[in-house]
Amino acid sequence: MLASASPRRRELLAGLGLEFDVEPADVDETVLPGEAPEALVARLAAAKAAVVSSRRPGDLVLAADTTVVVDGEVINKPATPEENAAFLRRLSGRVHDVYTGHALRYAGRCEDVVVRTRVRFRSLTDGEVAWYVASGEGADKAGGYAIQGLGAALVAGIEGCYTNVVGLSLPTVVEAARRLGAPLV
């Protein structure tokens, strides 16, 4: 059971050949005062997993939450094209962190793991920022870009798990499910 409406997470799991249902959990995603990014994504993923596992107690439930952090500040999904452009200008030529909290629930047991991937953007021109924003691809993505799409042209390199930047660290999910006694592969 995937407790997420994210099409990227669905695609990643389907890529493993898994069959699963989708049941998004509606939780308040407000950042708490002073909350560290790792704590934020862990809390939100756990809350989403708890909601869905309470309705589906016999199922393996997977929930996740992803955020982008630059200069210690969380930048989530841009609200407007202008904010998307501002995000990209801020990330241009710099390194930022992508955090994903993963929460799995099965047979009364829990596995919660936060994964961090460092992403380095190349320096972007104003024209490149305008091109990407006009594509609309980053409108519903943490940090305002999608590494698996056109946004790949913005990224100079990564350190860590690529699928974590997409929104779900597949190696982490596979290992956590195995520890819960529910092997996925």
Catalytic residue numbers? Answer: 65
Exposure letters 151-160 (e unless 16+ CB within 10 A, then b): beebbeebee
User: Strand 155-159's sheet: what is its strand order?
Assistant: 73-75, 61-70, 95-106, 109-121, 155-159
3-state DSSP assignment of residue 21: coil
Contact indicator for 112, 168 with CB cutoff of 8 Å:
no
Q: What are the residues whose beta carbons fall under 8 Å from the beta carbon of 8, sequence distance 6 or more? A: 146, 148, 166, 167, 168
Q: Answer for the pair 83, 57: CB distance below 8 angstroms, yes or no.
A: no
DSSP 110: E
* CA distance linking residue 94 with residue 90, whole number of Å: 8
Tokens standing for 5?
């409406």
Which residues 6+ apart lie within 8 Å of 72 measured at CB? none
